[in-house]
């Protein structure tokens, strides 16, 4: 009878070998660690000592989510994250307005990263609250309680600080991020690599175009001090420069997303996908051709618009539109121009809904439709330009100069029409109804 040879296998090792997911645990943990460490070094190099403004809420938010129950995770994580972000924004305003110090670029980068982290934390909290995911247990039984906690929290730390999504990009859900990490070797097709290259080249072209427009765009002092019809080209070119800046940054972020594979929708086939499976923020054609302010709003920075809709608009019972734009102003920092600009934006969206609902049926023939679309496109472009300039204002003095300039004529038209249509709707509602015989 032949004797068995080799070393004896411990019961714990035998149990781990029988676990079907065991061979995926170690690579995933290594990949999470790699993303976290690389993101940490990127944050340190970009923010310097201000990196603490990002690390403290990152580790604090994960601790709050783990300690709270599923029904309380979103509320506590939201409160903690927004409180910390608001304090940081107040610190920036204190240095800018009271101490009159120039803005530090590293501090501004830290605040931008903190705003993106707020999106991730609140999105994660909503996923837990809505039972779309749960805080799972660790994948191994080795070590003490501290090791167990770190193993459970490692994917969340990596999600908040991973280098591909640290400095910018569309909002990536934790489910998408986790699927991407668990399939790091899944090949990307030439289609998506070519799409990433196109986005990078598009960002370069837009950056060059932005530098050309810079020579024609007027400084803000001239833009808010223009008179009569001279306001139209001045206002439009100044806003075009700002839009090109946003477009180039977004396209560069999307290029990184597509190159890493994060831009693919969950469950999408990497081998033969189409553009419908890609998460994109930039839709330049829609933004520049639409004659509806509401369509522009939904298409502007799409992932952030979807996040605001899910976080505020769909959860608010009364006045959801106003609450959404008010929260957006708070999230951006509540500078004077931001508070006025986003509230004005909310009024323009409401006016857009009512004006188009009332006037669109009146344009029955094709020539009148063309005239209608042309006029409303021009009005949309000028109102959007006005809002963009208002949001860039950082003091009450410059904001008042903008409000008292001829530029205010374009949104004022929509405000007057909004009040007239609201009064017309109220009078028709109060009119006595004649019963049918």
Task: Please list the active-site residues.
Answer: 301, 332
Query: 67 vs 76, 160, 260, 291, CA distance in Å?
Result: 10, 18, 32, 48
Report the chain's terminal Cα–Cα distance, integer Å.
105
Tell me which long-range contacts 273-278 makes (C-beta under 8 A, separation of at least 24).
Answer: 273/189, 273/191, 273/192, 274/191, 275/195, 278/192, 278/195
Which phi-psi region, left, alpha or beta, contains residue 398 (left: φ > 0; alpha: ψ -120 to 50)? alpha
Phi, psi torsion values for 182, nearest 5 degrees: -75, -15
Residue closest to 289 by CA, chosen among 374, 387, 385: 374
CB-facing half-sphere around the CA of 36: CA atoms within 13 A: 19
Q: How far apart are CA 401 and CA 389, in angstroms?
A: 12
The rounded distance, in Å, linking the Cα atoms of 389 and 382 is: 11
How many whole angstroms separate alpha carbon 409 and alpha carbon 51?
A: 44
Contacts of 338 by beta carbon, 8 Å cutoff, 6+ apart: 329, 332, 391
**Beta carbons within 10 angstroms of residue 167's beta carbon:** 17
């Amino acid at each position: 009878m032949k004797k068995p040879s080799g070393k004896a296998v411990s019961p714990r090792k035998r149990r781990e070998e029988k676990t079907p997911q065991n061979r995926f645990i170690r690579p995933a943990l290594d990949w999470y660690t790699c993303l976290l460490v690389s993101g940490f070094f990127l944050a340190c190099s970009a923010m310097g000592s201000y990196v603490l403004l990002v690390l403290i809420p990152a580790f604090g938010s994960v601790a709050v989510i783990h300690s709270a129950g599923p029904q309380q995770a979103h509320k506590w994580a939201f409160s903690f994250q927004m409180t910390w972000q608001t304090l940081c924004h107040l610190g920036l305003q204190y240095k800018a307005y009271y101490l009159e110090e120039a803005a530090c670029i590293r501090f501004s980068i830290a605040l931008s990263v903190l705003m993106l982290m707020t999106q991730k934390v609140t999105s994660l909290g909503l996923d837990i609250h809505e039972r779309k995911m749960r805080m799972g247990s660790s994948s191994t039984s080795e070590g003490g309680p501290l090791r167990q906690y770190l193993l459970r929290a490692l994917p969340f730390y990596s999600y908040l600080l991973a280098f591909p999504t640290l400095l910018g990009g569309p909002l990536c859900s934790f489910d998408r991020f986790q699927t991407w990490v668990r399939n790091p070797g899944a090949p990307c097709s030439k289609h998506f690599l070519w799409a990433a290259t196109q986005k990078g080249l598009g960002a370069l072209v837009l950056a060059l175009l932005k530098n050309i427009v810079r020579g024609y765009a007027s400084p803000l002092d001239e833009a808010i001090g223009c008179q009569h019809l001279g306001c139209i080209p001045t206002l439009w070119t100044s806003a075009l420069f700002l839009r090109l800046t946003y477009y180039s940054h977004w396209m560069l972020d999307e290029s990184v997303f597509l190159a890493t594979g994060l831009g693919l929708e969950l469950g999408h086939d990497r081998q033969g996908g189409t553009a419908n499976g890609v998460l994109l923020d930039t839709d330049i054609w829609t933004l520049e051709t639409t004659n509806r302010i509401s369509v522009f709003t939904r298409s502007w920075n799409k992932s952030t618009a979807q996040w605001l809709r899910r976080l505020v608009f769909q959860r608010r019972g009364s006045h959801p539109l106003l609450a959404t734009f008010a929260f957006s102003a708070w999230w951006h920092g509540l500078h004077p121009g931001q508070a006025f600009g986003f509230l004005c934006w909310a009024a323009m969206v409401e006016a857009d809904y009512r004006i188009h609902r009332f006037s669109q049926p009146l344009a029955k023939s094709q020539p009148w439709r063309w005239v209608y679309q042309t006029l409303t496109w021009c009005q949309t472009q000028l109102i959007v330009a006005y809002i963009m300039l208002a949001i860039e204002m950082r003091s009450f003095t410059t904001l008042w100069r903008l409000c008292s300039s001829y530029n205010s004529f374009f949104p004022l038209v929509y405000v007057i029409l909004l009040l007239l249509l609201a009064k017309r709707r109220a009078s028709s509602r109060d009119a006595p109804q004649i019963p049918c015989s």
